[in-house]
Structure 1
Amino acid sequence: MASNEAATDQKWLRDFVAKNRIHTFKIGTVDLDGLWRGKRISSDYFVDSVAGNGTFICNILFGWDMQDEPIPDLAYTGWRTGYPDINLRPDLSTLKVVPWEPGTASVICDIHERDGSPMELAPRTLLTTMVSRAESLGYQPIAAYEFEFYLFRGTPRELATRHWRDLEPLSEGHHTYSVYRDTGNEFLIGEVRRQLAEYGIVIEASNSEHGPGQFEVNLHYSDAVQAADHALLLKHAVKELAVRHGYTASFMAKVRPGWAGSSGHVHQSLCSEDGSPAFANTADPGNLSDVGGNYLAGLVEHAAELTALFLPSINSYKRTEGGEWAGSSSTWGLDNRTVAMRAIPGAGAAARIENRIAGADANPYLVLAANLAAGLDGIEQKLTPPAPVVGNAYELADGKAPRLPESLADAAGRLENSVFARKFLGDRFVEHFVATRRWELKQFAAAVTEWEIARYL
């Protein structure tokens, strides 16, 4: 960066700090499990140094699991490498004042290796690469997330002391879309909407969902990277705001067998270079455009190979078992919520495709990167989608539609052996991600569950 540009940025940042009385910047990056990890930095140090040069952090961020246990035998890093530093480089376009933390601002960072090169394993880098690929084909990806999550009475510490047993949801029973029941929950859900709006993340709508204490929020659409950024910050913010009221928010895919699973459906479309909606079909609004059909075909074609990114944990597959309002086969349909890919055609910008496979537990950057890789391949190869499913996709006879992987082990194997995934996501990323999933499988295999004790003791 030229010295005059650096000086201009510093002045702008100092004005920002003074105007908003910022004393702390919380900065971080997203890891493979979708957790936001980083540091809190004093405002002076951020303005004088970190904003331009970044800050260093141990690359263990990509060498351990979500419980901070180091994963052995990873090619990227380990005890043999000494866990050296990587560089967190703030993306100042993500700079926001945190409304519920007076004097605090947040920034999302990209990751660079010590030599300055972008880190290939970083989910945000992977998504940015897929966006660049779309732009090279003349398209701008647009996306919007909708999340389901549960709220439980008690802070995470209080629930942990009870070993996560006897969970008491914020509300009882199944009251989907109940305006009356939502009134009683508005003290918390309403604050989430208002605080997020002030944070620059617009929740278009919220409602109670099918599970007790379960809620859904729908985010406003934006470009793909910003959509993933907003998804990350929303999940983080919901947890922080819930704790302030003495509650715990969970985006776990399946909390209990009899309760609805929590999805992370992603709506997506493309804009052409002139800004027009590429999926819109003015001549036949009941169907997607040819480009939209090609993109849809790519999503269906590669769904099974990418399932490990959509369903990344052992628990993820409990949500897709049976008719659970989640895609469980390589299928699509017109405004059909039993298929994997729900086509929502139209004559204008609302024409889009909804991927219904991903759970709320999935990493939004990896989900969007995988969708773009598959959809753009469909466009490049001019793929044609199979016949749409009319009716209940869960009741399709065997052989009528390929089933998606039904376990993390199967999904990891499909990803590992995917020529397509390796071509577009990279050998290094695929091998590293698969290794982390196999570690998760190994940890689960060694665990003694309450089900086993109750059944066999």
Structure 2
Amino acid sequence: MSSSRPTSVPSPKIATEFLEAHPEVATIDVLLPDLSGVVRGKRIGRDQLEGTFKEGAAFPASVFGTDVTGDSVDSSGLVWELGDADYPCWPVAGSLVQVPWTARPSAQVMLTMAEPDGTPFYADPRVVLQRVAQRYADKGWRPVVALELEFYLIDKTREAHLPPSPAISPVTGSRQSTTQVYGLDELDDFEAVLDDVANACQLQGIPAMAASAEYAPGQFEINLTHVDDPVQAADHAVMLKRVVKGVARAHGMNATFMAKPFGDETGNGLHMHVSVLDKDGNNIFASEDDPEHGSPLLRHAVGGLCQTMNDCMALFAPTANAYRRIRPNAYVPLSACWGYNNRTCAFRVPASSPDGVRIEHRVAGADANPYLAGAAILAAILHGIETEAEAPPPVDGNAYESQEPSVPKTWAESLELFEKSDFIAEWLGEGFQRVFHAVKESERRDFESEVTPLEWAWYLKTV
């Protein structure tokens, strides 16, 4: 493969030093997250690692034209139009780490795709987020980002036609059956799993904070510490999901980030906290004149988030299942509203020190691609600031009662809004907009053409 090596690619010396430090490592997984956030990749031998840093790894561009099942979507324009050609993928700095949950010593490294001339490939979600981050850098600003991810630990064994079950506690030998938010006994039940997750995060440089039990049996949340590089923050989220799934498998169970795995229990969310530092390191959302409520730029940022929320819902809720999560009184926003320290709103300004003023975006499900959700959120914030968008009045009390639901009710409606959005085209790119819509619209049609067991149960003999 002949291609220009981007200047941002880490030196092959990194690979050499890693192999010398870890002679036990036999294989390395090279990872390339797709549009759905599914981590695609290859498993290479240690003798191929230095070559990957020198020459890149070849993947077809159509990897970004695949749906969540792995099928290529012809209408994406990344398959036959390009001759299903290979493109160079290059290691991401700082992402070469050990993998502690496998039976055989192994490692992993993240990749990002480039054009043959070395420029970033427009449909790579990591590149989409990089472009938005660059617009902040052009102003001398740095977004500070922290992500929170919810997930369930579930039984590894499941009949295909039956719903999942919460995992059996290794301590008690039984399933949790009650909701004990922030419960310590629930953490004790899965202490071995969560400890191994924490140890793996430390080994891989993922800045994970303590886990907490959430609002359903077997549900947990892990918060990531804030960093002033949004692309790195999304990298951490992708790596965290891989850690949680890998460690769970090693303990004989599975982990799911599906938005709504149980109909009668709370869903899994992806919450993103954002503040912005100026060139002098000052938080632009903070205000000396009004430390309790923040600066006018905070309200413009919220205004941008409110204006663009529905255009971006296809990124925040990118699956059929995601729309089962969006319902009243489930801590999932139903309208583009905001408030101070109010978890019933889409955009919450948490209680904090005056310098720590930030926005918590509470819309996305845990099935969202962290790069794409982050790109949409940061684009909306900067769009709101640059256009001096007006925020609606903040909501006090229960937003589910005071605010009329306004989010798209269906996947089809979200995709239509996304496809027609001038905001998406301008900020995330027309090429990306076309590819993402094609992939997800194809996925939606395939999903909706499937006849379900419930339809047979209700209609086969009755109508």
TM band (smaller chain): over 0.9
SS of the aligned residue for 2:37 comes to coil
- Pick closer, same or farther for the CA change 1:173–1:436 going to 2, 3 Å: same
Query: Residue 421 of structure 1 is aligned with which of 404, 415, 424?
Result: 424
Q: Tell me how far apart the structure 1 counterparts of residues 243 and 355 of structure 2 sit (CA, whole Å).
A: 29
Match for residue 168 of structure 1?
A: 165
- Superposed displacement of residue 124, structure 1: 0.1
- Superposed displacement of residue 437, structure 1: 1.8
- Pick closer, same or farther for the CA change 1:151–1:324 going to 2, 3 Å: same
- Pick closer, same or farther for the CA change 1:117–1:347 going to 2, 3 Å: same
Q: Tell me how far apart the structure 2 counterparts of residues 94 and 241 of structure 1 sit (CA, whole Å).
A: 19
Q: Tell me how far apart the structure 2 counterparts of residues 201 and 438 of structure 1 sit (CA, whole Å).
A: 34
Aligned pairs for 1:318-329 (under 5 A) are: 318-329=324-335
Q: Tell me how far apart the structure 2 counterparts of residues 145 and 346 of structure 1 sit (CA, whole Å).
A: 17
- Pick closer, same or farther for the CA change 1:397–1:63 going to 2, 3 Å: closer
Q: Tell me how far apart the structure 2 counterparts of residues 13 and 254 of structure 1 sit (CA, whole Å).
A: 40
Q: Tell me how far apart the structure 1 counterparts of residues 150 and 352 of structure 2 sit (CA, whole Å).
A: 26
Q: Tell me how far apart the structure 2 counterparts of residues 119 and 172 of structure 1 sit (CA, whole Å).
A: 47
Q: Tell me how far apart the structure 2 counterparts of residues 282 and 367 of structure 1 sit (CA, whole Å).
A: 31
Kindly, what percent of the aligned residue pairs are identical?
35
SS of the aligned residue for 1:94 comes to coil
SS of the aligned residue for 2:150 comes to strand
Query: Residue 412 of structure 2 is aligned with which of 396, 409, 413?
Result: 409
Which digits, 9 at most, give the CA deviation of each residue in 1:63-112, with x for residues without a partner? 221212222322x2234543111111111232222233464232211101
Query: Residue 205 of structure 2 is aligned with which of 197, 200, 210?
Result: 200
Task: Read off the aligned partner of 2:298 and give its amino acid letter.
Answer: G
* TM-score after normalising by structure 2: 0.91
- Superposed displacement of residue 130, structure 1: 0.6
Asked whether the 8 Å contact 2:164–2:261 carries over to 1, the reply is no
Query: Residue 181 of structure 1 is aligned with which of 172, 186, 206?
Result: 186
Greater shift after overlay, 332-341 or 435-444?
Answer: 435-444
Greater shift after overlay, 59-68 or 334-343?
Answer: 59-68
Structure 2 residues not aligned, in runs of 5+: 168-175
Which digits, 9 at most, give the CA deviation of each residue in 1:259-308, with x for residues without a partner? 11110111111111112222222332211222222222211111111111
Asked whether the 8 Å contact 1:285–1:346 carries over to 2, the reply is no
Match for residue 171 of structure 2?
A: none
Which digits, 9 at most, give the CA deviation of each residue in 1:204-260, with x for residues without a partner? 121111112111111111121111000001111111111111101110001122111
- Superposed displacement of residue 174, structure 1: 1.1
Match for residue 64 of structure 2?
A: 62
Aligned pairs for 1:3-152 (under 5 A) are: 9-21=11-23, 22-47=25-50, 49-74=51-76, 76-79=77-80, 81-101=82-102, 103-152=105-154
Asked whether the 8 Å contact 2:197–2:247 carries over to 1, the reply is yes
Match for residue 336 of structure 1?
A: 342
Q: Tell me how far apart the structure 2 counterparts of residues 450 and 209 of structure 1 sit (CA, whole Å).
A: 30
Asked whether the 8 Å contact 1:176–1:209 carries over to 2, the reply is yes
Q: Does 1:368 align with 2:374?
A: yes
Q: Does 1:235 align with 2:241?
A: yes
- Pick closer, same or farther for the CA change 1:2–1:34 going to 2, 3 Å: closer
Query: Residue 190 of structure 1 is aligned with which of 187, 190, 195?
Result: 195
Q: Does 1:297 align with 2:303?
A: yes
- Pick closer, same or farther for the CA change 1:268–1:397 going to 2, 3 Å: closer
Which digits, 9 at most, give the CA deviation of each residue in 1:141-193, with x for residues without a partner? 11111111111122xxx43xx10515320222211111122211112122212
Q: Does 1:444 align with 2:447?
A: yes
Asked whether the 8 Å contact 2:123–2:432 carries over to 1, the reply is yes
Asked whether the 8 Å contact 1:329–1:403 carries over to 2, the reply is yes
- Pick closer, same or farther for the CA change 1:12–1:227 going to 2, 3 Å: closer
SS of the aligned residue for 1:73 comes to helix
- Superposed displacement of residue 140, structure 1: 0.5
SS of the aligned residue for 2:381 comes to helix
Q: Tell me how far apart the structure 1 counterparts of residues 372 and 163 of structure 2 sit (CA, whole Å).
A: 33
Task: Read off the aligned partner of 1:206 and give its amino acid letter.
Answer: A
Q: Tell me how far apart the structure 2 counterparts of residues 252 and 365 of structure 1 sit (CA, whole Å).
A: 17
Task: Read off the aligned partner of 1:229 and give its amino acid letter.
Answer: D
Structure 1 residues not aligned, in runs of 5+: none
